[in-house]
Amino acid sequence: MKIFQTSVPAFIIVILAAGWISGLVSGLTLPLLVSAQLEQVVPYEEAVARLAVEEAAQAALEAGADSPEYGLAYETLPGARKYDGPGLARSMPIETKEVWLSWMRNNRNDAPAFLEDRWNLAQDFVLSSELKRPEDARAFLLAPREHFVRARNKGLEYADTWLPIGYGATITDPDVVAMMTTTLNINPGDKVLEIGTGSGYQSSILSYLTSEVYTIEIIKPLFIETDSLYRDLEKFYPAYGSINRKLGDGYYGWEKYAPFDQIIVTCAIDHIPPPLLRQLKPGGVMVLPLGPPGRQYIMEVKKEVAEDGSIILSRRDVYNGLRVSFIPFRDEAGTSYSGPVTE
């Protein structure tokens, strides 16, 4: 029997062999590659938070502040990429407590044990008009006060009172925080300056009203503590990555980023600091505890500029005569900017 033989060019054999090997390798490795890719998938908020932390760390290195011994020139600037905190706030349903609780449990990282207390407190402030706008109520409801009240005050996270946070500083009463926030009348895109970062709680609320928040703290260990707290919380609350923070004397404001649409001062003083007034935009609002030691009132100060260039200020006592208690506005040496106590 005659056997027919057909010769196959060598280059075709090489091509076939290469294709077979390639297919085999792909078949073995593609599932591994897909699996690895799936393992790297993270929630969008976490990805944004990581980016914010990396940008903040890079900014610190560029500023020469990679040591915890920050000088009074240290700034943490997350950069131009801003997380849309106001957008998140608008997406949160607040029609009823049940609807809000369900959304929070499915979309946020807050401890469930504190949610009802936060809701109830917010509703009290809505009824008292200390939270007048839905935007302010939403921002309040998104800010986890339990993270900003220090460990020594466990159990008082949502008590309507001020609490010590160390270094002679306090976290302000939640009702006063609500009232000062509402008085600012912040809209998305507004640039807000806070004097006295303190625990970080007030800034956390502001970050859900605008992504342009600037805050200054003069007490070095408190600044370091709160700055570190923000870095930890950014993993779960990326809006905090948009909070620009500075260790420095708030009396002189933050000229580099002025002017500001709103300025909030969280320490007591007997006069309006001229540098802050200069850095407030025409038409802007400043809220501060104003008055001599022992007799401060929360004042809303509006700035207007007349045609001749003169500045016109209007003032309003937002609590209609109710006294408040804030720590003194101090300079770097610890000396109060207000005069001596006069009764």
Closest CA to 234 of 50, 44, 109, 106: 50
Distance of CA 43 to the CA centre of its chain: 20
292 band by pLDDT with thresholds 50, 70 and 90: confident
- Mean pLDDT across 261-282: 97
Per-residue pLDDT reduced to its tens digit, 28-44: 333 333 322 222 333 44
Contacts of 208 (CB under 8 A, 6+ apart): 85, 86, 88, 89, 138, 139, 142, 143, 239
Question: Which tens digit of pLDDT belongs to each residue from 177-213?
Answer: 999 999 999 999 999 999 999 999 999 999 999 999 9
Pairing status of strand 260-265 against strand 280-290: parallel
Q: Quick one: average pLDDT of 8-17?
A: 47
Alpha-carbon distance 288 to 263, whole Å? 8
Amino acid at 263: I
Tens digits of per-residue pLDDT, 82-103?
799 999 999 999 999 999 999 9
From 272, 271, 320, select the one nearest 293 (Cα to Cα): 271
For the stretch 170-179, pLDDT in tens is 999 999 999 9
Domain 44-317 CATH assignment equals 3.40.50.150: yes
User: Do the Cβ atoms of 290 and 247 come closer than 8 Å?
Assistant: no
Distance CA 49, CA 39 (A): 18
The conformation of residue 70, written as its DSSP 8-state character, comes to: -
Least confident of 3-17, 20-34, 106-120, 172-186: 20-34
In whole angstroms, how large is the CA radius of gyration of the chain? 27
Q: Give the residue among 228, 202, 237 at the shortest CA–CA distance from 83.
A: 237
- What DSSP element (H or E) covers 142? helix 134-142
pLDDT at residue 141 greater than cutoff 60: yes
Which tokens hold the place of 6?
Answer: 């057909």
The length of the chain, given as a count of residues = 343
- CB atoms near residue 305 (< 10 Å): 12
Every domain of the chain and the residues it spans:
44-317
Helices 134-142 and 112-127: angle between axes, nearest 10 degrees: 160
Comparison of pLDDT for 60 and 265, the residue scoring more:
265
